[in-house]
Amino acid sequence: MTQVTISEAARRVGVARSTLLRHIKNGKVSKVIGKDGKPSLDTSELLRVYGDLKISDKGDTSDTLHQNRSVLQTDTGDRYTEKDIEIATLRAELKAALERADEFKEERDEWRGVAKKGQALLTDAGQGRPRQGLWARVFGKSE
């Protein structure tokens, strides 16, 4: 879909530019670097995160681009069909799901490492000196 500048994206989603920059920094919204080398945002990404977009010309009138409407028309005469929006939304959702799956895999691998270390500690602790009985441990006697 169309790419817009960060300022234009903030206007279209109805948030402050600083809020949008914070969302980019936190990873809630992903940015792309355009052909001119400047950061921009894809409108499908904005739809995924914020839902509705305001499409406006420089004039007074503006339409809202809804995620689940049948046919949408902007002030500039562009037409977006429900299928176009659904495809863009599904692509964005797939991308987010794949990113979450990668995060889950990394977290799983970290936990596996923790479990292996714990298992190694338990195995090493059991191979040392013989275990004392309860009374010997209570009264500090060695067997």
- pLDDT, one tens digit per residue, over 39-72 is 888 888 888 888 777 765 443 333 444 444 433 4
CA–CA gap between residue 41 and residue 20 (Å, rounded): 10
* Per-residue pLDDT at 119: 87
Mean pLDDT, the chain, rounded, equals 76
Q: Terminal CA-to-CA distance of the chain, rounded, Å?
A: 77
Burial class (CB in 10 A: 0-12, 13-18, 19+), 56: middle
Q: What is the mean pLDDT of residues 113-120?
A: 90
Predicted model pTM: 0.40
18 touches 36 (CB < 8 A)? no
Q: What is the mean pLDDT of residues 114-118?
A: 91
In single-letter form, the type of residue at position 130 comes to P
85 touches 45 (CB < 8 A)? no
| Residue boundaries of the structural domains of the chain | 3-50, 72-124
Burial class (CB in 10 A: 0-12, 13-18, 19+), 115: exposed
